[in-house]
Structure 1
Amino acid sequence: MCPSRGRPRLFNLERPLLLFILAACSASAAPSNADLIQYLGGKATGQSLKTPAYTLTLLANDEKVLVSYSYDGAMKEVGWMAMGCGTAMTDADIVVCWPNKDGSWTLSHRSAPSTVMPTLIGTANKDTADSSGSLKIVRKLSSSSQTDSPAVVTFERPLKLGSSYKGKGDAYQLQRAINQPLIYAYGAKNPGESAQDADLVQHALDAMGGTYLDLSASFSSSSSTIDPPLTPVRGGSGAGSTTAASSENGPTTEASAATSSATASSAGLTVPASTSGSSAAAGGAAASTTGSSTTSSAAGLMTYSNLIFIHAVCAGTAWVIFAPCGALCARYARGPPGTTVTRFPWHFDV
């Protein structure tokens, strides 16, 4: 017997093991910007927003939109993640996703008449598609192992939902334009079942909020996440307009003066009273107009970090300057010792 015959047999055992390890490593890797863009045919517009709940990415081509939720933790730690098209929870078009123990994801398409638990749109099913048949999970762009971190779920939807869609409100029809109103939320408690109409435990107030998305912004494999704008921003571009130099921190695209004018007059964000404790970061972009075009520039003042800084400055000024001055004024208003001070009533009769 040739002594070298045992070596090929050992190699035959090592090769499948190596392939298994490589496949496992590949499966645990979160989808990149390039993966999302490739799925849409190699070119897309949109943005990636770093919300307090999770990272939300929406990319679009002329026909469909790819939506990706990325939670900074393992798949087994995820409760539920949700996004809604609209300025408030009432009548928003809401998509909730949560992981199951078998490595699958549930896609639950819902709506709510007020700030109550959203209920299912259509009839529940056990497919990767939602109950309306308009949305579906993209498995190859979603996590599938309980240890995958970050935990990512991606689904696709048409840019324009069909006439048979039974959702409420008017914000569910997306456009490749600036200032698409969105809400988002995260619930720490997993429903514990895969049924699309499963009950949801309410999210915390610091894990929800509202924002605006520029679905026309230039997007590439090197684009980074940005702070979610709390109010409508100026600038951006409509689909098909000429694109100027792009920026990783926000849209720097060219739009018509009419689009800019409409954007500047758009209504502000409305958040339900029960969710006013949102800690959503805020961002914006200033715009400069030249001729018939508008180009967005640096981020605006209304960012979460700037608000914290302004609050600290105002609080410090109040305690260091105004509080001592108020005490001194009260002391000297009494006059010298033994002086009688006339005290006036808090109201006057007319």
Structure 2
Amino acid sequence: MRASRLVSILLLLQTRERMTAQEIAGALEVSVRTVYRDMEALSAAGVPLYGEPGHDGGYRLLGGFRTRLTGLTAGEAESLFLTGLPRAAADLGLGAVVTAAQLKLMAALPTESRGRARRIAERFHLDTPAWYRDAEDVPYLTAVAEAVWNDRAVRIRYLRWAEPHEITRTVRPYGLVLKAGHWYLVAGADRRIRTYRIARIIDLRVLDERFDRPADFDLAAHWRAYLEHFDARRHQDTATLRLSPGAVDRLPHIMEPAVVRAARRTASPPDADGWIRVTIPVESHDQTLGEILRLGADAEILAPAELRDHLIRTLDSLRHLYARP
């Protein structure tokens, strides 16, 4: 276990040049004290380590030292074949590169690990688009990816939902996110960080202008915060429902997780018929009404009155439609 950790420390320092003991401890999920002991062991073994004190200090390898300890365990080799997204790589224009890399990786593995890695590839397939939807057409994805990689500003013409629907904007591409089969660009614009759906870019030009990427920008952390803010921003209203036991069971299959969590959190004790009252977040009356109709007679809208009236008018229209000869 310790030998594997020492190799991991060497590889971390090779790839990141300088790291603090705290950063190494966080990456390897050990204590800082353990890192100090490991550093002493590496120094005693002749590894040329140099530690710099202070706020901007840390450990680094001297003289361009490189280790050739690149052997993979069976589990590590298998995990590499699970991280690949063939469709995503093809979208980014890297399909051939990824295929070549996998072939080289397979050739470098011992016979036993090669067989296990092949079985992983044969038994697991990642399909990112949602059910009943085709993958989006993203003709500008490759150009955006190159701009992200090279820190080049881009000028985009973009089609959005709000008015004015078509806008032109110069943005600084920070990263790409693949979410449920859709590609999104996270970029700096107008002193803010904005998100653009790649499929809605209708024209793009990569500029000669380069930019400095914010040193403290964390794409994964930003995306998590963006999703939380997105849910809070679009759920501006609430509705009170009365649900049968059957509706409660079906709710997770009909409504999104944020709505289901709110329903469970606000559920009242069952009445004499076993029905409960819940309060759920609402994005729009039309969108919520469509989901409630899927519950049929197992759900009753109690509030707001506007949503209840909207349902009554919809049911009246349906009754008149089906009452015609």
TM-score where L is the length of structure 2: 0.29
| Larger proportion of helix | 2
